């Protein structure tokens, strides 16, 4: 088909523009009922500059955003069932740093390019490698430090196995202490 219809096509692979380089990937093993507790502990322990937290459904985005607010953390949320204009405004405010955390479903088709985001949490682990890459991957130009933490339930084991294989990457068990050098930018005061 390509040879017949395209004259001297210029081939690019958009997937290659997303990279996992610079992102340290961990998993925590949890039960569904432990996820909110686990997230609360992550919030209190990690040095989050800005975070994005992914859920697998719009319903769960709303439920989780409500929980996070109850826990006393500022959070925005966006999902596919919201009007585009509203989504744009929320994302714009998030990018400008008005709020530290953003809960969302899979809306980003080109990876996230918000420099200030140093922690991405998969509250729900995705089924597809492509989805994982879009959530965690950074576009090459912006490849910079960050950590990704995946909350894994026993039901996610097949997806975890498949995604590691397909992306040729390793998601390690979360260590007791995460080295800040992996995801916290040195403040200007230190230098």
Decide: is 141 part of the binding site for another protein (CB under 8 A).
no
Decide: is 60 part of the binding site for another protein (CB under 8 A).
yes
Report the site for another protein in 23-42 (rule: CB under 8 A): 28-38, 40-42
Decide: is 10 part of the binding site for another protein (CB under 8 A).
no
Query: Is 44 or 88 the residue whose CB approaches another protein more closely?
Result: 44
Neighbour order of strands in the sheet with 50-54: 75-78, 101-104, 50-54, 117-122, 146-152, 23-29, 172-173
Contact residue for another protein among 20, 58, 63, 185 (CB under 8 A): 63
- Residue 100 CB, nearest approach to another protein (Å): 18
The contact pattern for another protein, residues 95-134, with x = CB under 8 A and - = no contact, is ----------------------------------------
**Residue 44's CB: how many other CB atoms inside 10 A?**
10
Query: Is 18 or 68 the residue whose CB approaches another protein more closely?
Result: 68
Binding site for another protein (CB under 8 A): 28-38, 40-42, 44-45, 57, 59-60, 63-64, 66-67, 70-71, 152, 154, 157-158, 160-161, 173-174, 176
């Amino acid at each position: 088909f390509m040879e017949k219809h395209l004259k001297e096509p210029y081939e690019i692979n958009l997937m290659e523009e997303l990279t996992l380089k610079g992102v340290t990937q961990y998993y925590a093993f949890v039960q569904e009922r432990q996820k909110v507790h686990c997230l609360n502990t992550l919030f209190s322990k990690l040095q989050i500059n800005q975070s994005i937290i992914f859920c697998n459904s719009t319903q769960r985005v709303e439920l989780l955003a409500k929980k996070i607010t109850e826990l006393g953390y500022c959070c925005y949320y966006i999902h596919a069932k919201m009007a585009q204009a509203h989504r744009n405004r929320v994302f714009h405010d998030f990018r400008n740093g008005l709020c530290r955390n953003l809960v969302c479903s899979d809306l980003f088709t080109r990876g996230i390019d918000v420099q200030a985001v140093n922690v991405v949490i998969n509250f729900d682990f995705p089924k597809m490698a492509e989805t994982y890459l879009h959530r965690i991957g950074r576009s090459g130009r912006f490849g910079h430090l960050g950590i990704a933490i995946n909350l894994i339930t026993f039901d996610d084991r097949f997806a975890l196995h498949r995604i590691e294989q397909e992306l040729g990457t390793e998601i390690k068990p979360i260590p007791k202490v995460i080295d800040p050098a992996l995801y916290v930018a040195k403040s200007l005061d230190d230098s």
